[in-house]
């Protein structure tokens, strides 16, 4: 449950409302997608920050993972998360496209990183290098459906079955086989969401 940073101008939710919804619906297993998007600026910066902090507080109260969107806001995202470093947040960087430096700082906060179809794009060399650097026990895969279909389906509407292409590329980047990447990312998901 959460409010995407693009929607914070028109939607406001309290920490208590997030917690109440989380507690009343056993199908909800995380808080978000929340965070900061200073690329599109579809919502006011300060409203995004205020909403992000509410979601962080709800994540702490529910002891649940915080699914974070961060675009053109690496410094601000880290600065805010670092204010809660003693709270042992369960962080998932959704559809991670950040820098290696950002990833390194987030690893100090025990963050997990989700790879999307973007890692299969021919011009994503820097991102591939970043995922090569991120430890295996901190990586997940996702579709971000209906967006960001991986090669060879780039440009099509993404769907869950396409996650295999992302997993194959991630296995190649990490120098292991796809069966191993499947087992590792599944274990990481269970570790983050159910421990």
What are phi and psi for residue 95, nearest 5 degrees?
45, 55
Q: Mean pLDDT, consecutive 10-residue segments, the chain of 195 residues?
A: 95 95 97 96 96 98 98 98 97 98 98 98 97 98 95 96 98 98 98 95
Distance CA 145, CA 159 (A): 5
Cα angle, residue 99 at apex, residues 97 and 102 outer, rounded to 5°: 110
Q: What is the pLDDT of residue 41?
A: 87
The alpha helices in the chain, defined as continuous H runs, are 15-24, 45-62, 74-82, 100-107, 125-133, 163-174, 178-194
> Measured between alpha carbons, how far is 192 from 181 in angstroms, rounded to an integer?
16
What is the rounded CA–CA span in Å between residue 20 and residue 58?
Answer: 10
pLDDT of residue 6: 96
Cis check for the bond before 152: say yes or no (omega within 30 of 0): yes
Listed in sequence order, the DSSP H helices in 8-44 are 15-24
Q: What is the pLDDT of residue 158?
A: 97
Supply the pTM of this predicted model: 0.96
């Amino acid at each position: 449950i959460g409010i995407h940073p693009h929607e914070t101008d028109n939607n406001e939710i309290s920490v208590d409302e997030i917690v109440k919804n989380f507690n009343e619906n056993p199908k909800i297993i995380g808080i978000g997608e929340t965070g900061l998007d200073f690329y599109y600026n579809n919502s006011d910066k300060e409203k995004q920050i205020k909403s992000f902090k509410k979601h962080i507080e709800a994540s702490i109260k529910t002891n649940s993972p915080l699914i974070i969107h961060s675009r053109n806001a690496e410094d601000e995202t880290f600065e805010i998360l670092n204010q809660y470093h003693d709270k042992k947040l369960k962080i998932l960087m959704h559809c991670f496209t950040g820098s290696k430096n950002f990833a390194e700082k987030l690893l100090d906060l025990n963050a997990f990183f989700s790879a999307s179809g973007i890692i299969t794009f021919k011009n994503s060399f820097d991102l591939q290098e970043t995922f090569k650097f991120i430890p295996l026990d901190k990586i997940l895969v996702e579709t971000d459906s209906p967006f960001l279909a991986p090669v060879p389906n780039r440009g099509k509407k993404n769907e869950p079955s396409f996650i295999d292409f992302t997993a194959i590329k991630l296995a190649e980047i990490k120098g292991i086989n796809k069966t191993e990447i499947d087992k590792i990312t599944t274990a990481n998901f269970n570790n983050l969401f159910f421990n």
